[in-house]
Structure 1
Amino acid sequence: MINNKLLLLGATLLVANSLNAKTTICYKKSWETPSTIETTKLDGGECKGEKSLKEMKRAGWYIKDIEIKNAKKGLDYNYILSDINPVVISKELTSKNDITTALDMQTQTTKLYDVTSDHAKINIGNLKVGQSGVIQHTYKDGHSLIISSAYVESSNSNYSTVKFIPFLDLKQNAIPTSNRVVANNDTFILNFMYDQSLLITPNIDAFRATRKQFTVNNFVHSDIFGAYLKSEYRPLPTQKIIQEFALSQNMGTIFIVIKSNLYILDSRTFTLLNKQTIPNISSKTQMPFYTRIEKIESNIFTSDIWSWLDFSAITKFLNDDRTEDEVLYGDLATKKSKDQMDYNSYYANVLGLNNDKK
């Protein structure tokens, strides 16, 4: 009954939020220390000089676009933020993907044609919805610049349609951004950085088996991700946290092992692209995943869920004796510690597999 109440409350608030999607612009003028911009209080919009970009993300806002310009002194920063994820691919589209078929992760380059304000076509067919890449413009002097990211929205045997999204990989806060828009004959690089990957596994056996099977990929060690979660007080990473880390490290794919299955996702769209079997691995699990980083403590005040659910209101609504972690993580916590939670169930839920035959 308690869980049903929590789900009902959450669903009601999510529906209300989706019907009232908002966009806000926060800015900082003449800033001279780019390395601190994400933790600096921003002016304007919903930031109001009181919240930093990092705090806005924790409050449920997503970066829709970034504009960085040279100023007489330092740089001017403009962040367009939305309370709805700008990269949302409908389940109806992704359900058409056959995730058991082979995924070609090699980089492919082609020219864009039939360009509109947010879409274009490419002469590569039979792609999976959610595969992504970057759009590059080459100037007359031979210099090139990445001006956007894009993902496959539809594909047939002859061509594919891609949709433009902001380029947020490996953000460099010290370099101004271009105002150039995508045009015909710009270059689309499919599967950009797909060989740079984040690997999440339940144990050392699965970690080694995956690396052995994918020798071309450069896997960032999970200890680095563990250290990041420790610094963020996030023992259980959400989809948003996983994506942000992967993109900040310029990784194009995310590999997650659940039971004896390996799931490969696109970092920019978090779309499930491929499923493979990893045979003969141990069933032993640990939380949050295989890492040698110990004691990743939680801080309830940095948790994404509290950006749209007030903890005191939930406690009153539920009227039970559960701990903060048990309320935050639901059935997965029960009366166990975070280290004893069910790794497989947790990550199946992150991937949306619990109510899906995939």
Structure 2
Amino acid sequence: MLKKIVLTLVIAGSGWLFAGFFPPTVYTTVTAVDGNRVTLARPLPVNGMSGVVMHSFGKGLQAITGILVQQAPGQATVRKGDLLDHKGLPTPKSVAAPGDKVIGGYLYNNVLVLAPNAETYRKITRSGGRFWIHPDLYAAYLAREGDSTPSASNLAGFAREAQVGLVYIVQRGRAILFDPISGRVVGKKAFQPVGSEAKYPFYTRFSKISGGLFGGSGKGDYYQSVGGIR
């Protein structure tokens, strides 16, 4: 009992330790800005975790002005935001300023799942607690873009289009959480899929998509197709 109490206090007080596979969303503020580097009042739970900077324009108006990635506890880089378009609001002089709000893990509840088969996909999504984005949508995006396998680049493009915060990827012997905005892995755990079937390039309900991406024999190695994302 005492160990549980101590662990709870450490997690609550550290600002960057946490329990569980999914990093929690964190609300904090910018305390200092040096070029494209910012200091946060409260560190995000994991280095490589992305977030957004919210700037206030007064009169209750605020908007995302920067996309942030934590490089070290409480230290992050920031670039101009491109997740949402705010044409009706004035352009700030900088993407971040002291006092701006930060949402770490923005859209982390929106999770794309890449799994080897339908049973494994259902095993993951039955856990609930997230808005699970079906890989059919990603497969259709790949067909449209002419890509054949998952990559950090096309996952980032799909994430911007579909408002995806995390990608849950089943690899050999483990599962990872890939942040497509930062291009970094922010969670890992041991994981065994259901059964031995591994559909290539990943589980989708499509047998063929216009453009021929998943047509033909469809033969390949699922684990090789997702193994390069790490």
Q: TM-score, normalised by structure 1?
A: 0.53
Note the 1:196-275 alignment, pairs <5 A: 196-213=110-127, 215-275=128-188
Residues 217-255 of structure 1: per-residue CA shift (max 9 Å, x gap): 111111111122222232323321111101211111111
Partner of 1:295: 208
Cα 1:230/1:216, change in 2 over 3 Å? same
SS at match of 2:82: coil
Q: Does 1:135 align with 2:47?
A: no
- Residue 39 (structure 2) aligned to one of 106, 118, 121: 121
Amino acid at match of 2:39: K
C-alpha displacement at 1:338, in angstroms?
6.4
C-alpha displacement at 1:298, in angstroms?
5.5
Structure index of larger Rg? 1
C-alpha displacement at 1:113, in angstroms?
0.8
C-alpha displacement at 1:103, in angstroms?
4.5
- Residue 183 (structure 1) aligned to one of 97, 109, 113: 97
- Residue 194 (structure 2) aligned to one of 268, 271, 281: 281
Residues 266-305 of structure 1: per-residue CA shift (max 9 Å, x gap): 1211211111233461221111211112224468xxxxxx
Q: TM-score, normalised by structure 2?
A: 0.81
Cα 1:342/1:280, change in 2 over 3 Å? closer
**Residue 23 of structure 2 contacts residue 186 of structure 2 at CA under 8 Å; is this kept in 1?**
no
Separation in 2, partners of 1:342, 1:113:
47
Residues 123-181 of structure 1: per-residue CA shift (max 9 Å, x gap): 224732210100001233121111011010111xxxx1111023222x54x83675311
> CA RMSD of the aligned region, Å?
2.4
Unaligned runs of at least 5 residues, structure 1: 1-100, 300-336, 353-358
Runs of 4+ in 1 over 6 A off after TM superposition: none
Q: Does 1:347 align with 2:226?
A: yes
SS at match of 1:134: strand
Separation in 2, partners of 1:185, 1:230:
43
- Residue 109 (structure 1) aligned to one of 14, 27, 30: 27
Separation in 2, partners of 1:137, 1:231:
35
**Residue 234 of structure 1 contacts residue 298 of structure 1 at CA under 8 Å; is this kept in 2?**
no
Separation in 1, partners of 2:104, 2:60:
21
SS at match of 2:34: coil
**Residue 209 of structure 1 contacts residue 278 of structure 1 at CA under 8 Å; is this kept in 2?**
no
Amino acid at match of 2:176: Y
**Residue 114 of structure 1 contacts residue 121 of structure 1 at CA under 8 Å; is this kept in 2?**
yes
SS at match of 2:195: coil
Cα 1:256/1:185, change in 2 over 3 Å? same
Amino acid at match of 1:179: T
Separation in 2, partners of 1:224, 1:239:
16
Cα 1:348/1:148, change in 2 over 3 Å? same
Unaligned runs of at least 5 residues, structure 2: 1-18
SS at match of 2:224: helix
